[in-house]
Amino acid sequence: MNGKRSIDPTVSPVFAAVQEHTPPEAVVVFFRARTMTLYTDRRALQLMDVKRMLQRADYYAQLRNSDYSQPVLTQDQAIALGMEEVWSDAKWILWKLPALN
């Protein structure tokens, strides 16, 4: 083995989006936090609770139509919470979370 890790092609677009659309100091909620950090150099949290996510993170990388280890939100619910879609494709949505004062 040469030590290089291959990225699942269904996940690589969200890693690229995080690198392109978030600043280096951003904290991202993702269902596999250590993997997000490994591939993007962003701090990541693995949270299920929406309130905690809004308090502790800057972005949420959401896998569409999944409730596996991630907060479950519809697009309407996310928008009502003040979240802003910054990137999406058929499988993923990258949300910018509202700044709490």
Tens of pLDDT along 31-90? 999 999 999 999 999 999 999 999 999 999 999 988 889 998 999 999 999 999 999 999
pLDDT at 99: 87
pTM of the predicted structure, to 2 decimals:
0.90
- pLDDT score of 2: 45
Q: Looking at residue 54, what is its pLDDT?
A: 96
Whether residue 34 contacts residue 23, with contact meaning beta carbons closer than 8 Å, is answered with no
* Distance linking the first and last C-alpha atoms of the chain: 48
Q: Which residue has the higher pLDDT, 17 or 4?
A: 17
CA–CA distance, 1 with 61 (Å, rounded to integer):
30
Rounded-to-integer distance, Cα 5 and Cα 78, Å: 33
Confidence check: pLDDT of 4 > 70: no
Distance CA(83)–CA(76), nearest Å, equals: 10
- pLDDT value of position 6: 67
